[in-house]
Amino acid sequence: MAKIKEGFKGERLISLPEDLLNTYSKDPLIGNLYVRKIGFFPRVKFHYVQKEEGCDYTMLIYCTEGKGWYKIYGKTYVIEKNQYIMLPPYVPYSFGADDTDPWTIYWLHFRGELSSSFLPDKYIPKPLLPNEHSRLQERFHLFEEIYSCFSMGYIKEYMVYSSMCLYMFLASFTYLEQYRHITTPTHKEYPFSSRVIYYMEENIQQNLSLEQFASYFKYSPSHFSMLFMKETGVSPINYFIRLKIQKACQYIELTNLKLNEIALKLGFEEPAYFSRIFTKIMGISPSQYRKKEA
């Protein structure tokens, strides 16, 4: 069976030279906590990494689709959609994608004097399930901010800023209850549709059916659809798709992501289907929209 470490269709990753990172680590604003390498791998079949002697950095793996596995301290664990792990430095381990349902992962390597402070007590998968408190999209946005600044890391000020953002990003995993402790549309004074729309936004990268939405809110599909349409005038799935295209417009205008990468990030496995839906809603194709808004 093929085993691949890197080099996947749709992957994104950035690293900086070790000598530059060593120089930066002498600055306390960077050296206490900093990124070594960062990336995103979509549906990476045959992905496999083995560290027989460990490594000198901590690794975060956040699985958003599919599943994978990892082995550490002689035990093998499965990591599934909406779970994350942190793997410690200087400890042998291996990990890889599931053969039949390969994972999509956000990942980063980090180092620093304070890096061990973010390590869990146990190295078991931890859940990050979407709900009305989850703030998933804010976490994804923070990842993109770190990624963008780290890509400019040859300029020291950008490296400093990426380190500052890394504190918040790691804390959103390690201090999950505190991260979620903000006002979200869960109270009775919020309309039903507001709660549903927030949940849709949190799941913008997923392909969810009417039945899945209804199940989460504990209604039958028909009653759920009726309640949502009564408040919005639009069917739930139609609204969900329009939110995806709205998010696609933001990615097109505000990032340098390729159109097929945007499609994958929004749960469209076929870029051609994404293009058709985008064109139907926006009146022009994604590539035309990019030219128009450039």
pLDDT tens sequence across 98-143:
999 999 999 999 999 999 999 988 889 999 988 878 888 899 999 9
CA atoms within 13 A on the CB side of 94: 12
CA atoms within 13 A on the CB side of 82: 13
The answer to whether 15 and 96 have CB atoms below 8 angstroms apart is: no
Q: Beta 58-65 vs 48-51: how paired, if at all?
A: unpaired
Question: Which has the closest alpha carbon to 165: 62, 33, 289?
Answer: 33
Mention every residue, 6+ apart, whose C-beta is less than 8 A from residue 244.
Answer: 204, 266, 267, 268, 277
pTM of the model: 0.74
Question: Which has the closest alpha carbon to 84: 35, 143, 132?
Answer: 143
- Could you give the CA distance from residue 52 to residue 93 in angstroms, rounded to a whole number? 6
Phi-psi region of 79 (alpha: psi -120 to 50; beta: other; left: phi over 0): beta
Q: Which domains does the chain have, with CATH numbers?
A: 12-179 (2.60.120.280), 192-293 (1.10.10.60)
Write b or e for each residue in 220-239: b if 16 or more Cβ atoms lie within 10 A of its Cβ, otherwise e.
Answer: eeeebbebbeeebeeebeeb
What's the distance, CA 84 to chain centroid? Answer: 10
Q: Which amino acid is located at 50 in the chain?
A: Q
What's the distance, CA 25 to chain centroid? Answer: 27
Q: Which amino acid is located at 131 in the chain?
A: N
Q: At what angle do helices 156-174 and 136-151 cross, to 10 degrees?
A: 160
- The CA angle 99-104-109, to the nearest 5 degrees, is 110
The two structure tokens encoding residue 128? 């990050």
Q: Which amino acid is located at 100 in the chain?
A: T
The two structure tokens encoding residue 3? 């085993």
**Per-position DSSP letters for 258-284, written without gaps between them:** -HHHHHHHTT-S-HHHHHHHHHHHHSS
Question: Reduced to 3 states, what is the DSSP secondary structure of residue 14?
Answer: strand
Q: What is the residue-level pLDDT of the chain in tens, covering all 294 positions?
A: 455 565 556 788 999 999 999 999 999 999 999 999 999 998 888 899 999 999 999 999 999 999 999 999 999 999 999 999 999 999 999 999 999 999 999 999 999 999 999 998 888 999 998 887 888 889 999 999 999 999 999 999 999 999 999 999 999 999 988 888 775 555 555 688 988 998 998 899 888 999 999 999 999 999 999 999 999 999 999 999 999 999 899 889 878 888 998 998 898 988 899 999 999 999 999 999 998 876
* pLDDT at residue 1 in the model: 47
* pLDDT at residue 221 in the model: 94
